[in-house]
Amino acid sequence: LGTTPEAFPSPLGHNYDQGFGSANGDATPGGSAMRQRAAELRAYASAAEQKAAAYAQEAALLRSRAETAEHELMKVALAVHHDGTHHPQPRPVDLASLLA
């Protein structure tokens, strides 16, 4: 053996292998360096999971706002259609307030 583990690919560019050591004496006796590195990786994973949850929550909020904006635009279109005019002037819609 005697080699370090292959690098774990990280979408965020982190080098998760850093600090593992090798079987030829780089690691401290008793595996304490490996245990420390494993704890660090768990912390990275936990932080990544928390970020992912926050991004998912934000995405759901943005989807909801987009649906609200689409609904408001449909209401405007229906109001114009029921107006009976052939070339109606749509009522202004404040999209910024819908997306805020």
Query: How many residues belong to the chain?
Result: 100
pLDDT in single tens digits along all 100 residues of the chain: 344 444 455 666 655 555 555 544 444 555 788 888 899 999 999 999 999 999 999 999 999 999 999 888 888 777 765 655 555 555 666 667 766 6
Cα separations in angstroms, 3 against 18, 36, 91: 13, 19, 70
What is the rounded distance in angstroms from the CA atom of residue 67 to the CA atom of residue 34?
Answer: 49
pLDDT of residue 4: 43
Tell me which residue of 77, 76, 68, 74 sits closest to 97, measured CA to CA: 68
pLDDT for 1: 38
pTM of the complete model: 0.46
